[in-house]
């Protein structure tokens, strides 16, 4: 039987937590069938855990449910990293090298490590992503094996406020350690962007409940990453406050308007007591603000819209009616909806949904990291049939069962023996008298 590894990943968003287990074969084939989610309110704000105990309880329930599905025990998890304050900073490291020795992977690793040696004020470095290599001032895609007197590496430092990682680490104090932390937008980009996307220029836009993350790629490299504190919940709250309704009502209205970004042509109907056209005015105005901020990221990254050939849109808010077209009209860049990673075979049709792109991408990223002899799950052992002692001359020993009357005052079911009634006593005496008469007849 082929040995399989089990990989567990958790993605903590502003509105829900999603956990999933994937199986990886020795050939590298990855499949997922089991996924659990829990929705929450206000325990995570802008992607950053606020109430550690509440989220810890939710994670426990998710993992327990997953354990029941696989008949095993989760021992480690990979945790996604995302949220407000997560962004990239460009750093450069120069190093003189001996011209008679080839550049090695070990040298590259040491130089990249040097890039993280300088602290970033009020931020922690979460990851380091190489961007560009130069050997003797000439750009090269891969310096390993080359000779030169100097090497320069430009890297993207992925940084965030200390609270983000601090609270993620606090979550893992309930007994199941984090096997690794994976930057979610980077994992998603690797899985759903094609090589041509990253080569020609692409912007990945993940619109969640309270944040929108933008990752820009060009010439096969990440050149910019930023997280905006704006998302789908901003639209809901604008309707809630503007029309004086409960948040749940505002959310339902937002989802059921035929064209929420075109108030003039929106149906003049009433949804749960709310005029759809009035709600569309609020939704359209806030969405325009979010799109304007997305478009501004191009300028902040130092690229023009002409240099970016496509935008890939994902996230819980990505399916808002008219959003794709509105984003395309504003940026003048072709927009398409992201698809689940093709590297994973999703065996359960009920979980094969776009809203789970992030956790599927985390599983795929974790599958590339995990060592061949490691796993995130301990399966319960299954014994098929009785285990018989080995050796010649063995004969099974028969042990006569103990009769209920010989077990004292406890019956087989564990209940106290029933007290004998007057009728039972009379019946016993009658039986004994009949038995005595029969014995006398036999003797005669």
User: Which percentage of the chain shows pLDDT scores above 70?
Assistant: 85
Asked whether residue 436 carries a pLDDT value surpassing 70, the answer given is no
How much is the pLDDT for 427? 54
Domain boundaries defined on the chain: 86-160
Q: Please say whether the beta carbons of 369 and 180 come within 8 A.
A: yes
How much is the pLDDT for 381? 73
d(CA 75, CA 21): 12
Sort 390 into a burial class: Cβ within 10 Å, 0-12 / 13-18 / 19+.
Answer: exposed
C-alpha 262: how far from its chain's center?
Answer: 34
pLDDT tens, residue by residue, 265-304: 888 899 999 999 999 999 999 999 999 999 999 999 999 9
Which parts of 84-174 are beta strand (E)?
87-96, 124-135, 138-140, 150-160
pLDDT tens, residue by residue, 24-42: 998 889 999 999 999 998 8
Q: Which of 228-237, 330-339, 363-372, 377-386 has the lowest mean pLDDT?
A: 377-386
Q: Please say whether the beta carbons of 154 and 92 come within 8 A.
A: yes
In CATH terms, the fold of domain 86-160 is Dna Ligase; domain 1 (3.30.1490)
Q: What is the mean pLDDT of the chain?
A: 87
Asked whether residue 212 carries a pLDDT value surpassing 70, the answer given is yes
Asked whether residue 403 carries a pLDDT value surpassing 60, the answer given is no
Asked whether residue 431 carries a pLDDT value surpassing 80, the answer given is no
CA atoms within 13 A of residue 1's CA, in its CB half-sphere:
3
Q: Which of 17-21, 39-43, 381-385 has the lowest mean pLDDT?
A: 381-385
Asked whether residue 357 carries a pLDDT value surpassing 70, the answer given is yes
Confidence class for position 247, pLDDT limits 50, 70, 90? very high
Q: Which residue, 336, 331, 341, 335, is CA-closest to 301?
A: 331
């Amino acid at each position: 039987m082929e040995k399989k590894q089990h990989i567990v990943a958790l993605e903590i968003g502003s509105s829900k937590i999603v956990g999933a287990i994937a199986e990886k074969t020795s050939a590298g084939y990855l499949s997922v069938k089991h996924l659990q989610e829990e929705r929450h309110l206000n325990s995570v704000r802008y992607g950053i855990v606020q109430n550690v105990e509440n989220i810890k309880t939710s994670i426990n329930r998710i993992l327990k449910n997953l354990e029941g599905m696989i008949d095993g025990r989760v021992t480690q998890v990979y945790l996604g990293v995302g949220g407000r304050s997560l962004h990239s900073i460009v750093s450069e490291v120069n190093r003189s090298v001996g011209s008679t020795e080839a550049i090695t992977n070990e040298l590259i690793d040491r130089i990249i490590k040097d890039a993280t040696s300088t602290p970033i004020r009020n931020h922690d470095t979460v990851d380091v992503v190489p961007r560009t290599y130069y050997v003797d001032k000439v750009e090269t895609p891969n310096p390993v094996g080359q000779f030169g007197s100097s090497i320069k590496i430009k890297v993207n430092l992925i940084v965030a406020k200390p609270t983000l990682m601090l609270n993620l680490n606090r979550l893992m104090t309930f007994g199941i350690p984090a096997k690794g932390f994976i930057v979610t937008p980077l994992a998603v980009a690797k899985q759903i962007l094609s090589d041509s996307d990253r080569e020609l220029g692409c912007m990945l836009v993940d619109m969640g409940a309270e944040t929108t993350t933008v990752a820009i790629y060009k010439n096969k490299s990440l050149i910019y990453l930023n997280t905006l504190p704006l998302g789908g919940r901003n639209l809901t709250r604008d309707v809630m406050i503007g029309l004086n309704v409960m948040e749940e009502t505002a959310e339902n209205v937002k989802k059921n308007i035929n064209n929420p970004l075109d108030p003039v042509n929106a149906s003049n109907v009433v949804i749960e007591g709310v005029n759809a056209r009035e709600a569309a005015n609020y939704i359209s105005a806030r969405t325009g603000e979010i799109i304007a901020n997305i478009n501004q990221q191009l300028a902040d990254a130092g690229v023009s819209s002409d240099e970016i050939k496509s935008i890939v849109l994902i996230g819980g808010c990505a399916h808002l009616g008219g959003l794709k077209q509105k984003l395309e009209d504003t940026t003048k860049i072709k927009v398409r909806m992201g698809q689940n990673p093709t590297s994973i075979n999703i065996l359960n049709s009920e979980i094969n949904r776009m809203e789970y792109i992030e956790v599927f991408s985390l599983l795929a990223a974790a599958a590339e990291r995990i060592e061949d002899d490691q796993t995130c799950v301990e399966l319960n052992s299954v014994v098929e049939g009785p285990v018989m002692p080995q050796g010649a001359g063995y004969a099974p020993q028969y042990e006569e069962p103990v009769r209920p009357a010989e077990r004292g005052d406890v019956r087989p079911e564990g209940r106290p023996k029933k007290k004998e009634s007057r009728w039972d006593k009379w019946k016993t005496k009658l039986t004994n008298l009949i038995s005595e008469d029969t014995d006398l007849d036999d003797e005669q």
